[in-house]
Amino acid sequence: MALLEIENLVVEFQTSGGMFRAVDGVSLKVHEREVLAIVGESGSGKSVSMLAVMGLLPWTAKVTADKMTFNGRDLLTLSDSERRKIVGKDIAMIFQEPVASLNPCYTIGFQIEEVLRFHLGLGRKERQARAIELLTAVGIPDPAERLESFPHQMSGGQCQRVMIAMAIACNPKLLIADEPTTALDVTIQKQILDLLVKLQAEHGMGMIMITHNMGVVAETADRVVVQYKGRKMEEADVLSLFENPRSNYTKALLAALPDNATGDRLPTIADYFKDGSEISGAAVS
Amino acid sequence: MSVVLEARNIVRDYHMPGGLFSKGRTVHAVKGVSFTVEKGKTLAIVGESGCGKSTLARILTLIDPATSGDLLIQGKKVDIAKGDLTKDLRREVQIVFQNPYGSLNPRQKIGDVLATPLVIHGNVSAGERRDRAMAMLKKVGLSEEHYGRYPHMFSGGQRQRIAIARALMLNPSLLVLDEPVSALDLSVQAQVLNLLADLQDEFNLTYVFISHDLSVVRYIADHVMVMYFGEAVEYGTRDQVFTDPKHDYTKTLFAATPRADPASIKARLARKNAA
């Protein structure tokens, strides 16, 4: 059985100009111990579909789906209080801007221990011991002293490590990483990706990696979903996606990588759709 | 080939004043960097955040003076701390910033954004300003109907085109690009890089391209300089740096760059299955 199963997810936002459809019929599955990458450019609905799973969308959003289950439980009919018990514990999320997603007013020790208190009900001593253990696991030096630090006293890479520590605090079954390395330098990016993949393997988590960086996909994913304008363009395992992309959009995306540049100019998406044909997920032979 | 920009041993220190209980200290942001850029060529400066590349950009664009060292533009020595900065010099060097959402005034129409440099720098009549702004809009791949619009009506890639157009209004000889594509999507990034290449061919422009993305640098640069903690640890032609990196930091940087080719994916999956 799949850990997370979504069928025909539609997310619409109420705007002054009517309903805007951000996610248009996306279906996907994540199995245990699997890394699924969702790739797409901004506005492709990749973050919104995961926020819908977490139940973090504002009230202006209308979420409908034929099926949305996590570990056998229906997420669509879940009450808010039941959802709060799952989100943060069994499904955890890491956000793009580490510095912005930590609360600047509290020490990182307090913020990690808050998760442990709420979901696991640990006592003060146990919480502190577990927090130190978590900071050690994500590779922060002097973890015991670092508990007293505030987010502004740490670098971006360290803040992201703290976010990861919070996310894995309750041993989640599914970890959603929303562009976890976009704000970081390449050398730090490498460390964070290695850490995520290591933790994923150790804990046997399912992981969803949301990114627009094809390099990150190539380095982490088992299976890949390509999204464009709210629709799923292609789904394939990572090797066949890079070796032999089926949809036109994926081909264009791969050709736009500067690593693959052959001539003087980079091919752009427009070059692939010169005839004005609608971008579709259909395979083009 | 004439040399447009030459830097000799540029140093920049920032003094942090001490407080009531702490002593002041000095941060050495740039520690003696030298390079030359020839006309029509691109120098890429690579490094992680905090390595001094943006400080260097501020010195090159004559925003901040260097603490010591010589900066030569078109063969002339410039020291803005001594008041060498003239309007003519200002128009020689222009900059495009990283974040296209922050670098355009939200209350200024695009036409005014492009015309403002002309108002400041010379006696150009309103009609001619308009014509030149229109022409530049077309050059960067936008159209005349965009003239009266506000920045919020544009996407990130279009805004970056506008920022490039503004920088080119005064026909500068040197354009400093501070991470111009790092805030853009992959497909839009390709369009903007192509635009930069086209403009370089057309106007024989000289670029100083600051980036942390090695794949972009490999595509666009003629010369590459790698900075680490304020020092230039590696400087050479693109092929030298990419085929035979000398410094350990450069090697680390290459090793950390994610590779998106099937061979390295196969290697990773094999490692994973073995574990």
CB–CB contact B265 A190 (8 Å): no
- Is residue B1 very low, low, confident or very high in pLDDT (cuts 50, 70, 90)? low
- Bridge partners (DSSP) of residue A29 are A5
Q: What is the pLDDT of residues A46-67, one digit of tens each?
A: 889 999 998 888 888 999 999 9
Does the predicted interface ipTM exceed a cut of 0.90? no
Q: Which residues of A lie inside 8 Å of B (Cβ-Cβ)?
A: 41-42, 156, 185-190, 193, 201, 212-219, 238-239, 242-243, 252-254, 256-259, 261, 264-270
Q: Between the CA of residue A104 and those of A95, A134, B50, what are the distances in Å? A: 16, 20, 22
User: Would you state the pLDDT for residue A34?
Assistant: 93
Sign of the Cα pseudo-torsion (A146, A148, A152, A153, in order): negative
Give tens-digit pLDDT for B192-213.
899 999 999 998 999 999 988 8
pLDDT at A284: 37
Q: Which of B191, B212, B256 sits opposite A190 (nearest CB)?
A: B256
* Residues A121-156: tens digit of each pLDDT: 999 999 999 999 999 989 888 899 999 999 988 888
Decide yes or no: CATH 3.40.630.30 for domain A32-61+72-246. no
**C-beta atoms of A259 and B156 within 8 A:** no
- Interface test mutation site (partner A, options B185, B233, B271, B272, max chain A beta carbons within 10 A): B185
User: Given this model, what pLDDT does residue A279 score?
Assistant: 52
What is the CATH T-level fold of the domain B3-274, as seen in this structure?
A: Rossmann fold (3.40.50)
Which pLDDT band, with edges at 50, 70 and 90, does B232 fall under? very high
Stronger pLDDT, B110 or B181, i.e. the higher one? B110
The packing angle between helices B126-139 and B110-120, to 10°, is 120
Q: Using CA atoms, how far apart are residues B2 and B57, in angstroms rounded to an integer?
A: 21
Q: What is the pLDDT of residues B117-138, one digit of tens each?
A: 999 887 889 999 999 999 999 9
Q: What is the mean pLDDT of chain A?
A: 87
Apex CA B40: angle with CA B34 and CA B43, to 5°?
Answer: 35
Considering the entire predicted model, what is its pTM?
Answer: 0.81
Range with lowest mean pLDDT among A266-270, B47-51, B141-145, B202-206: A266-270
Hey, where are the domains in chain A?
Answer: 32-61+72-246
Question: Cβ B185–A217 below 8 Å, yes or no?
Answer: no
- CA-to-CA separations, A174 to A8, A73, A97, A206, A256, in angstroms, rounded: 20, 14, 20, 5, 32
With cut-offs at 50, 70 and 90, classify the pLDDT of residue A282.
Answer: very low
Domain residue ranges in chain B: 3-274
For A197-234, the pLDDT digits (tens) are: 999 999 899 999 999 888 899 999 999 999 988 899 99
Gap between the Cα atoms of B223 and A255, Å rounded: 24
Q: Which position has the token pair 């996306």?
A: A26
